[in-house]
């Protein structure tokens, strides 16, 4: 299997982070859908290949790179087109960029859009799940890809691997950082789950903010994020 190596060490994308159910919950996905994207699935006697893994492994451990790519595919989950249709494009991007996680690096979104467009056209990718689109003389990210792109930060900025994810968007202080709180959502290094638990136990937002010396609006954002996750899981 290809490995993306940076500065003589294994890329952070290879870092084991979550179980499948936990990764799905953090992204607001059903666990069976996350498993299908990771390992493929069988339906009515037909076998469908995974999108994210090179081949099915059945492993419950999700790496940071796999988690980021699940986050990318999440943006397309209601399009009605099987995301397995993206598999040929992802396979070719793996070869072109020399990484098993081509959707978790900056190149397809920044300097590789023309290549992505060529691969989409070659493989007949439906517009609903396109990564890039042509607009006049320009090649732009499709809306769903752009939405994902705005939620991630790369290392180094604008290039390299996805270093952290902002699951609620740029306007929210909530981050998922593989090197902070074991990859659990946090605000200023404090787990959002902990902040929500305090609020759920009866503490006011102002009390929590005073206790952690954090702005009240950041506490509100953390609680809103956790409540949204819980509503999606209900």
- Name every residue whose Cβ is closer than 8 Å to that of residue 75 and which is 6 or more positions away in sequence: 144, 145, 147, 148
pLDDT tops 80 at residue 9: no
**216: helix, strand or coil:** helix
Closest among 195, 226, 199 to 212, alpha carbons compared: 195
Split at pLDDT 50, 70, 90, the class of 80 is confident
* CA separation, residue 49 to residues 33, 56, 123 (Å): 13, 8, 16
d(CA 64, CA 27): 13
**Interval 127-175: pLDDT, tens:** 999 999 999 999 999 999 999 999 999 999 989 999 999 999 999 999 9
- Name every residue whose Cβ is closer than 8 Å to that of residue 80 and which is 6 or more positions away in sequence: 128
Split at pLDDT 50, 70, 90, the class of 3 is very low
For the chain, give the number of residues. Answer: 234
Q: Please, what CATH class does the domain formed by 166-234 belong to?
A: mainly alpha
Split at pLDDT 50, 70, 90, the class of 234 is low
- Name every residue whose Cβ is closer than 8 Å to that of residue 89 and which is 6 or more positions away in sequence: 116, 119, 120, 123, 125, 131
Q: Classify residue 159 as left (phi > 0), alpha (psi -120 to 50) or beta.
A: beta
Residue 69's pLDDT is what?
98
Among 3-17, 70-84, 100-114, the least confident range: 3-17
State the average pLDDT over residues 8-19.
85
Say what the pTM is. 0.92
pLDDT tops 50 at residue 2: no
Closest among 144, 22, 149 to 83, alpha carbons compared: 144
Residue 79's pLDDT is what?
86
**Interval 199-230: pLDDT, tens:** 999 999 999 999 999 999 999 999 999 999 88
Split at pLDDT 50, 70, 90, the class of 101 is very high
């Amino acid at each position: 299997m290809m490995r993306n190596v940076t500065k003589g060490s294994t890329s952070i994308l290879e870092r084991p982070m979550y179980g499948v159910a936990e990764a799905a919950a953090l992204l607001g996905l059903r666990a069976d859908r996350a498993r299908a994207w990771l390992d493929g699935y069988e339906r009515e006697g037909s076998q469908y290949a995974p999108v994210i893994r090179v081949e099915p492994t059945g492993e419950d451990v999700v790496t940071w790179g796999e988690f980021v790519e699940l986050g990318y595919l999440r943006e397309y989950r209601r399009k009605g087109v099987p995301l397995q249709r993206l598999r040929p494009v992802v396979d070719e991007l793996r070869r072109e960029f020399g990484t098993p996680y081509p959707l978790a690096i900056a190149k397809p979104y920044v300097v590789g859009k023309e290549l992505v467009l060529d691969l989409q056209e070659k493989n007949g990718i439906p517009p609903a799940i396109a990564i890039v689109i042509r607009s006049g003389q320009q090649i732009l990210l499709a809306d769903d890809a752009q939405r994902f792109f705005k939620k991630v930060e790369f290392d180094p900025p604008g290039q390299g691997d996805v270093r952290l994810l902002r699951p609620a968007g740029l306007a929210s202080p909530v981050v998922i950082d593989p090197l902070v709180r074991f990859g659990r959502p946090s605000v200023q290094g404090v787990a959002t789950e902990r902040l929500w638990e305090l609020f759920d136990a009866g503490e006011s937002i102002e009390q929590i903010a005073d206790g952690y010396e954090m702005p009240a609006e950041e506490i509100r954002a953390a609680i809103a994020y956790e409540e949204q996750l819980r509503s999606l899981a209900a």
